[in-house]
Structure 1
């Protein structure tokens, strides 16, 4: 039986909110079996389930909310939790955003590894995709369909020398999330960043937490972490958004120019069709990412 996982102990960090530019305190704690991922606005005392039903905005990032309380930019920490096979966790934040850290999921991977991961006395549950579900909008599209394990393919195609017809694909039964995906940073164009900051957004954005591009290339002094880093970051975002289904997904995702809005739409479309999925307990390791069968961290190498 593959067991559910949580953290061994609580751990905290602080960082800057990407859009507010304010300092945010974050505490990541263990949670009981079948809790799932729960966010808490510690300044307001409001809990918000890490689920697609809690999503209230998908412009620029994925934002969840309950009543007047919202938490933005949840996708990177959700991606790290999914990548490390964490089923149950409590995430307290002192403001309206998860801190952006370096713009990737890597700092959260480090945080979780420092806290330690423990197995719990109940079988891991997964959402197995049983039939294809897809959506299209102009030149954008995405689909979920049956597959063994978990695979994500993405086609990035912007009018930019580094972002034209860039295709990446990851089969996490053979490729490690932490090594191949988690370090990919969010990205943006310098003219868009300037416009957003004038509008009171992206106030915490800088070359310390994003890949910044002009018309011809990368402005960051250190360059890219991967030659296709921007496409890999789209995969990182997708992994986090898909985990808002409430369970790890067994199946495959394909996206073309898709983003947070379409990611959340496809999860909602999937869950709305009860013939398209099933919740299963893992009694063995068939069709699971290879790392889940090991004693080390799942999906991470």
Structure 2
């Protein structure tokens, strides 16, 4: 840790530093480092950031690519990730550097947590929540990095050439394209529920009375084209569908109804049916929710706990 005027340098690992800038306007880069600006180079989808966190796997992939590119161009230069003093900017650096330590420096969880401890101290000294919102989920940085380490160990988050496709993940995960995420490669996908749209449209933006644009809705036909490419054989409904299943069935994708009323957790019989469906089908399944808090995530987590 080295404080100098408008900036604070924190060494993390493998010649990677974080430069915390108090006032961005008065900060100027020097030639001794290769700089990556986390705040501006990797913006998040603002409408979802407060709910789901500040960084996704595709952000990490872009950061890793930038680090590798800088190292290839100037191997003797350290890499400096610049962040502002706000908590949301620092938490991006925490996740990015912890992930870098695990993925590219091959450290274990304890070493990775030790690397980012100075940054964690910066967050704890700031009274505001990094997501600027209340959450009913207690998800710690260590949980995120432990999940990434597990994914790396079993080959799900392999950022080497031919491994994890960050561009595809970013494209499909964007709410303007599909709002779809492959959770278990080749087996389990979670997506937002489709809707029947007027005049045969495959997508439609919701425009509120005050002019704000809401979430983009997609038709079953839009999703069917994507799901076929991912070898999806069945769509599991965890909420009351707002669409006719014909669009999926025409594409050779079965539709399974596991809907249940109310906001309670999934009952045992639903859990058993879901696991049975996933195990019987040789291909992938896609799940969309809405019936209670986190049904899709709960079902996915149970499948992963049993099989991985």
Q: TM-score, normalised by structure 2?
A: 0.25
More strand by share: 1
Which structure has the highest helix share of the two?
2
Higher Cα Rg, which structure: 2
Q: What's the TM-score, normalizing by structure 1?
A: 0.25
